[in-house]
């Protein structure tokens, strides 16, 4: 029984380690963290560990009483983590947001408790917001806006967003930095197409931009109400991130549900995905990107020698099986059988959750081996898998087909850039076209198979009735 109990507190620790909690703090300069914040974090970790170690001493393992008590311990531990994140703010809220999106890995008690940090992080008071605007613009709120909603649309780790109306009638989103954010946390804001920035009403601490309507990407009820297909959203999200990573070599590294909105365009009636908060991007080195691309191709095509080869090139060493499991959020047995053809099962999910605790030392070792840019990709993968799990679209065939299509294009482009011969470049292009055509045919086959199966089921149901 003691051995079993030792694994229980390890779950929270393992998740924190695998999500980069230790790495976040290790890479920060100690001067960035006050003694109070550091002590608060240490105390919370100690209390959670002690709770897990002592709560089950007089309860028999596997009983109904044990399961009920475990749920209570999970819940109060998650609440302690949430309170720690809210108290320490900054990086701690980023970690809490990440943990709240790991539906495929963490118990429900953790994710449901920490999900509040996606859009309802600790807020600054209206007086503080007014003071920031007064200091930065030298004007009162009424001089800049005809309407400024006091309740924020959302509050994040560094800032909060208010809906407002300009004097010319345009509705805008005003993002105001929390007044206590440390100077060294301030970074240049990356400007991207959508939203439009109102530069005359923006400063280093206030950002006024186009207001984007929409529901969070994990809000199934919103999608149902607005006629949005969850499978289409999941597929397009996968396409978008595959294009970013494999083709263009950069990635938006903070896709937690509070930063990804979905909506149906009123004009075209097409479904749109909106990325918010462009403060955290990773630019991938060319060699790293190509090796990462080759690794995913090997994983999709069940090429185990390729999985080992490219995992080692990416720094995993002898831990390449664990690396493949962490990257895909699949078991080693599923990887050997082919992740593109073997669906995720409940027993596999249980195995993954259990192993997150059992393999804590190896996970920590792996995270210290791989290149630094891999850490943000792993964080991004975790968040995307969490969204897929919430939407119940995880590990669909179409997601692997879209990923493979981007890998084919990226590798062909890379090969052409290394070749001077026009004839050889043409050969590469023709091979690329053939492989893309073959993928499209396979996709068509799966669609026809699904349609025929659906017709067969309908016919059978009609016959039975």
Backbone torsion region of residue 67, taken as left when φ is above 0, otherwise alpha when ψ lies between -120 and 50, otherwise beta: alpha
Is the CB of residue 438 less than 8 Å from the CB of residue 378? no
Reduce the DSSP state of residue 197 to 3 states and report it.
strand
Q: How many degrees, rounded to 5, is the angle at CA 330 between CA 326 and CA 302?
A: 100
Q: Which among 353, 357, 339, 350 has a CA at the least distance from the CA of 300?
A: 339
Q: Please state, in angstroms and as integers, the Cα–Cα distance from residue 144 to each residue in 124, 141, 202, 205, following that order.
A: 20, 5, 11, 16
For 1, counting Cβ atoms within 10 Å of its Cβ (0-12 exposed, 13-18 middle, 19+ buried), the class is exposed
Q: Please state, in angstroms and as integers, the Cα–Cα distance from residue 230 to each residue in 52, 217, 220, following that order.
A: 37, 9, 7
DSSP state of 32: G
The active-site residue out of 219, 254, 277, 382 is 254
Q: Structure tokens of 35?
A: 């003694």
* Alpha helices (H) along 359-396: 360-369, 372-391
Which residue's entry shows tokens 């929409």? Answer: 214
Active site residue 219: no
Q: Report the distance separating Cα 233 and Cα 213, nearest Å.
A: 16
Catalytic residues: 254
């Amino acid at each position: 029984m003691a051995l079993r109990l030792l694994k229980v507190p390890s779950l929270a620790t393992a998740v924190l380690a695998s999500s980069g909690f230790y790495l976040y703090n290790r890479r920060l300069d100690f001067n960035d963290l006050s003694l109070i914040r550091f002590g608060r974090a240490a105390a919370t970790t100690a209390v959670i560990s002690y709770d897990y170690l002592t709560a089950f001493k007089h309860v028999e393992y596997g009983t109904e009483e044990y399961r009920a008590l475990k749920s209570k311990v999970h819940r109060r531990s998650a609440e302690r983590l949430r309170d720690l994140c809210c108290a320490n703010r900054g990086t701690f809220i980023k970690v809490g947001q990440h943990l709240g999106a790991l539906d495929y890995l963490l118990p429900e008690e953790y994710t449901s408790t920490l999900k509040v940090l996606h859009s309802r992080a600790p807020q600054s008071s209206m007086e503080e917001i007014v003071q920031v605007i007064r200091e930065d613009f030298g004007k009162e709120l009424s001089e800049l806006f005809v309407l400024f909603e006091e309740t924020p649309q959302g509050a994040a780790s560094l800032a909060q967003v208010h809906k407002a109306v300009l004097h010319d009638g345009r509705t805008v989103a005003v993002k105001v930095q929390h007044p206590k954010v440390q100077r060294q946390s301030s970074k240049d804001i990356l400007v991207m197409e959508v939203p439009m920035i109102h530069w005359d009403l923006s400063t280093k601490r206030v950002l006024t931009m186009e207001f984007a309507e929409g529901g969070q990407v994990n809000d199934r009820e919103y999608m149902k109400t607005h006629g949005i297909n969850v499978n289409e959203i999941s597929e397009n999200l996968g396409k978008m991130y595959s294009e970013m990573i494999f083709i263009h070599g950069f990635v938006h590294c903070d896709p937690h549900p509070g930063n990804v909105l979905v909506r149906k365009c009123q004009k075209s009636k097409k479904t749109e995905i909106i990325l918010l908060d462009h403060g955290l991007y990773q630019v991938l080195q060319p060699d790293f990107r190509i090796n990462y691309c080759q690794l995913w191709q090997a994983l999709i095509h069940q090429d185990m020698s390729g999985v080992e080869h490219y995992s080692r090139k990416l720094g995993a060493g002898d831990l390449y099986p664990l690396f493949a499991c962490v990257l895909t959020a699949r078991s080693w047995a599923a990887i050997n059988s082919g992740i593109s053809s073997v669906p995720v099962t409940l027993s596999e999910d249980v195995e993954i959750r259990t192993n997150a605790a059992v393999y804590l030392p190896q996970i920590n070792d792996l995270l210290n081996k791989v290149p630094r840019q891999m850490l943000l990709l792993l964080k991004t993968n975790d968040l995307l898998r969490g969204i897929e799990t919430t939407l119940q679209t995880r590990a669909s065939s179409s997601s692997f087909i879209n990923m493979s299509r981007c890998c084919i294009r990226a590798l062909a482009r890379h090969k052409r850039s290394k070749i001077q011969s026009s004839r050889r470049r043409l050969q590469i292009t023709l091979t690329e076209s053939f492989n893309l055509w073959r993928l499209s045919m396979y996709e068509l086959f799966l669609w026809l198979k699904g349609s025929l199966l659906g017709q067969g089921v309908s016919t059978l149901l009609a016959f039975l009735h």
